[in-house]
Chains A and B, each alone.
Chain A
Amino acid sequence: MSIKIHQLEHVYNQNTPFSHAALKGIDLEIPEGKVTAIIGQTGSGKSTLVQHLNGLLIPTAGTLDICGYHIQPLLKIKDVKQLRKEVGLVFQFPEYQLFEETIEKDIAFGPKNFGVEEGEASQLVRDILPVVGLDESYLDRSPFELSGGQKRRVAIAGILVLDPKVLVLDEPTAGLDPQGAKEMMTLFMRLNREQNKTVLLVTHDMEHVMNYCDHVIVLDHGVVKQKSDVKTFFEHPEWIVNIGINPPSIIRLKMRLKEAGFDIPDEIIDEEGLLKCIKRQVKIHE
Chain B
Amino acid sequence: MSAVEVSHLSFSYDGQNDVIKDVSFAIPKGSYTTIVGHNGSGKSTIAKLLIGLLKAKSGEIKILGNILNEENIYSLRNHVGIVFQNPDNQFIGSTVADDIAFGLENHCVPQEQMQEIIEDVAARVNMSDFLDSEPTKLSGGQKQRVAIAGILAIAPDIIIFDESTSMLDPQGKASINEQIQKLHDERNITILSITHDMEEVAQSEYVIVLKDGKVEMQGTPKQIFEYKDKLKEMKLELPFALSFSEKLKNEGVFKDSYCTLDEVVNELCQLKSTN
Residues of A participating in the B interface, judged by any CB pair closer than 8 Å: 41-43, 147-149, 174-180, 204, 206, 244-246, 249-250, 252-253, 256-257, 260-262, 271, 275, 278-279, 281-285
| B241 located at the interface, meaning its Cβ lies under 8 Å from any Cβ of chain A in the complex | yes
Q: List 6 A-B contacts (CB under 8 A).
A: A147-B39, A174-B167, A177-B39, A179-B235, A250-B244, A285-B254
B198: contacting residue among A42, A43, A147, A178, CB under 8 A: A178
Given A178-B196, A261-B272, residue A249 in contact with residue B240 (CB < 8 A): yes
Beta-carbon nearest neighbor of A206 in chain B: B170
Residues of B participating in the A interface, judged by any CB pair closer than 8 Å: 37-40, 85, 139-141, 163, 166-174, 196, 198-199, 235-237, 240-241, 244, 247-248, 251-255, 261, 264-265, 268-269, 271-272, 274-275
In whole angstroms, what is the CA distance A176 to B171 when docked? 19
Chain A contacts of B268 at CB under 8 A? 257, 260, 262, 278, 282
Chain A contacts of B252 at CB under 8 A? 284-285
B235: contacting residue among A175, A180, A256, A261, CB under 8 A: A180
Given A180-B38, A180-B39, residue A282 in contact with residue B170 (CB < 8 A): no
Whether the pair B163, A245 counts as a contact (CB closer than 8 A) is no
Chain B contacts of A262 at CB under 8 A? 268, 272
Whether the pair A177, B264 counts as a contact (CB closer than 8 A) is no
Beta-carbon nearest neighbor of B275 in chain A: A283
10 new A-B contacts at CB < 8 Å, known A41-B169, A42-B172, A179-B237 = A42-B140, A147-B39, A148-B39, A175-B85, A180-B235, A204-B168, A204-B170, A249-B241, A253-B244, A285-B253
In whole angstroms, what is the CA distance A257 to B253 when docked? 15
In whole angstroms, what is the CA distance A281 to B38 when docked? 39
Q: How many A-B residue pairs have CB under 8 A?
A: 108
Smallest CB-CB A-B distances: 3 pairs: A179-B235, A246-B170, A249-B240
In whole angstroms, what is the CA distance A250 to B39 when docked? 26
In whole angstroms, what is the CA distance A261 to B140 when docked? 37
Beta-carbon nearest neighbor of A176 in chain B: B39
Whether the pair B272, A177 counts as a contact (CB closer than 8 A) is no
Whether the pair A256, B170 counts as a contact (CB closer than 8 A) is no
In whole angstroms, what is the CA distance A161 to B40 when docked? 26
In whole angstroms, what is the CA distance A174 to B139 when docked? 16
In whole angstroms, what is the CA distance A42 to B173 when docked? 12
Whether the pair A178, B237 counts as a contact (CB closer than 8 A) is yes
Whether the pair B38, A246 counts as a contact (CB closer than 8 A) is no
In whole angstroms, what is the CA distance A245 to B167 when docked? 15
Beta-carbon nearest neighbor of B196 in chain A: A177
Whether the pair B235, A177 counts as a contact (CB closer than 8 A) is yes
Whether the pair B174, A281 counts as a contact (CB closer than 8 A) is no
Chain A contacts of B169 at CB under 8 A? 41-42, 204, 245
Whether the pair B196, A282 counts as a contact (CB closer than 8 A) is no
Whether the pair B139, A42 counts as a contact (CB closer than 8 A) is yes
Q: Name which of B40, B199, B255 has the most chain A CB atoms within 10 A of its CB.
A: B40
Q: Name which of A42, A147, A271 has the most chain B CB atoms within 10 A of its CB.
A: A42
Chain B contacts of A279 at CB under 8 A? 251, 253
Chain B contacts of A284 at CB under 8 A? 251-253
Chain A contacts of B265 at CB under 8 A? 253, 256-257, 260
Given A177-B39, A180-B39, residue A281 in contact with residue B235 (CB < 8 A): no
Whether the pair B253, A282 counts as a contact (CB closer than 8 A) is yes
